[in-house]
Amino acid sequence: MNAAAADMPHRPWLGATKRLSALGPILALLALISIGSLLSDSFLSAGNLSNLLTRSAIVGIIAIGATYVITAGGLDLSVGSMSALIAGLVIMGMNAAGSSLGDSWLVVLIGIVLALALGVVAGTLNGILVVKGGIDAFIVTLGTMGIFRSVITWLSDGGSISLSSSLKGVARPLYYGSVAGVSYPLIAMIFLAVGAELVLRRARIGRHVTAIGSNPEVARYSAIRVHRVRILTYVFQGVCVALATMIYVPRLGAATPSTGLLWELEAIAAVIIGGTALKGGFGRIWGSIVGVLILGLIDNILNLTALASPYLNGAFQGIIIIIAVYLQKGRREV
């Protein structure tokens, strides 16, 4: 009935269709890449691919956390606003630390630790309200989304909170730096994605996440600590948002009330495009990453080719999202 059941090995006749539909997001990605390379000479250049992958790492890292939350049957709409608020607070903290410690890597490190702490606090808040408070996740995170966004707007007086320009130079490599041509944000996303995928599939807690999303009652009778695991998914989401924010901040060195606007929808769309079940019980980290790349590619290709009126960019995105999800319909119907 639910998606987890489709994973059962003793229904071999489902194997072929399942494998085919699992390839859905990959097929969509490959199709987009070939369209892009046909339409634009600069699309496959190393510079463009590096730009694209580095940009995508921000929402990519957020989508990794979102995959856990959604797999466990939850939802977090607050990630974009949370990122904006963390960005603002971290910049204020780093400016304060910088004025006494000077422009050193230590200040950047303080910023990272502060961001992670804020992410854990915000994630715990969401998790406890949903799980212990028994309020629907949609409502709780819609509420915190508004709260976080308003607080950053208030803190910045509607304008921007900027990193002092000397600190900007110190923090810059976090976004722009690279090892052997692979940018730091991309490396961070790959490590996090591989780790999260392994935990989701192999570790006990990962299996618990899936089991809870599949059927919380059964999970509880199986002696899984349902509350704790569900709260932890929100905390992990907070940590992912904090990491993504520490990639975002050095890019432009500023937080504004429009920072992270609609990132929650991009992340959720990417997770679903990637094959994770919106109602929980089945999750795929690599799929979410592919989903983020698909969304980023559409924008990039439209910018590079001027294929149609830019007024229609949103329509192309809509069409491709629906097609990508339709390609996996086979598995969903089982």
Partner 1 sequence: MEKRTFLKGGAIAIALGAVGMPKISLAAGGKTIGISIPAATHGWTGGLNFQTKRTVEQMKKAFPDIEFVVAAANDASKQVNDVEDLVARGIDALVILPFESEPLTEPVKQAKAQGVFITTVDRGLAEEGIEDLYVGGNNPQYGVIAGQYFKKKFPDGAKIVVMRGIPTTIDNVRIDAFKKELEGSKVQILDMQFANWNPDKGFEVMQDFLQKFDAIDGVWAGDDDAALGAMEAIKQANRPKPIVVLGGSGMNKVVKMVKDGGGAVDADIFYPPTLIIPAIELTTMRAATQAPIRGRYILDSPLITKDNAEEFYFPDSPY
User: By the criterion CB under 8 A, which residues form the site for partner 1?
Assistant: 40, 42-43, 45, 47-48, 51, 55, 153, 156-160, 162, 176, 251-252, 254, 256-259, 299-300, 303-304, 306, 310-311, 313
Nearer to partner 1, 153 or 276 (CB): 153
* Helix axes of 137-155 and 79-101: crossing angle, nearest 10 degrees: 40
Sign of CA dihedral 322, 327, 329, 332: negative
The pair of three-digit structure tokens given for residue 257, joined into one six-digit string: 């009330």
Nearer to partner 1, 221 or 311 (CB): 311
- Alpha-carbon distance of 172 to 183, in angstroms, equals 12
Rg (CA), the chain: 20
- Alpha-carbon distance of 111 to 21, in angstroms, equals 42
Nearer to partner 1, 104 or 303 (CB): 303
The pair of three-digit structure tokens given for residue 196, joined into one six-digit string: 């999260």
Q: Residue 301 in contact with residue 43, Cβ under 8 Å?
A: yes
Query: Residue 15 carries which DSSP code?
Result: H
Nearer to partner 1, 215 or 317 (CB): 317
CB 311 to partner 1: min, Å:
6
CB 310 to partner 1: min, Å:
5
Residue in 237, 222, 217 with CA at minimum distance from that of residue 71: 237
CB 98 to partner 1: min, Å:
18
CB 113 to partner 1: min, Å:
25
CB 319 to partner 1: min, Å:
19
- Alpha-carbon distance of 113 to 323, in angstroms, equals 41
The residue to which tokens 């349902």 are assigned:
226
Nearer to partner 1, 234 or 263 (CB): 263
Query: Residue 310 carries which DSSP code?
Result: G
- Alpha-carbon distance of 271 to 297, in angstroms, equals 16
CB 248 to partner 1: min, Å:
8
- Alpha-carbon distance of 286 to 56, in angstroms, equals 14
Nearer to partner 1, 203 or 262 (CB): 262
Burial tier of 60 (Cβ tally within 10 Å: 0-12, 13-18, 19+): buried
CB 35 to partner 1: min, Å:
16
The number of residues in the chain equals 334
CB 303 to partner 1: min, Å:
4
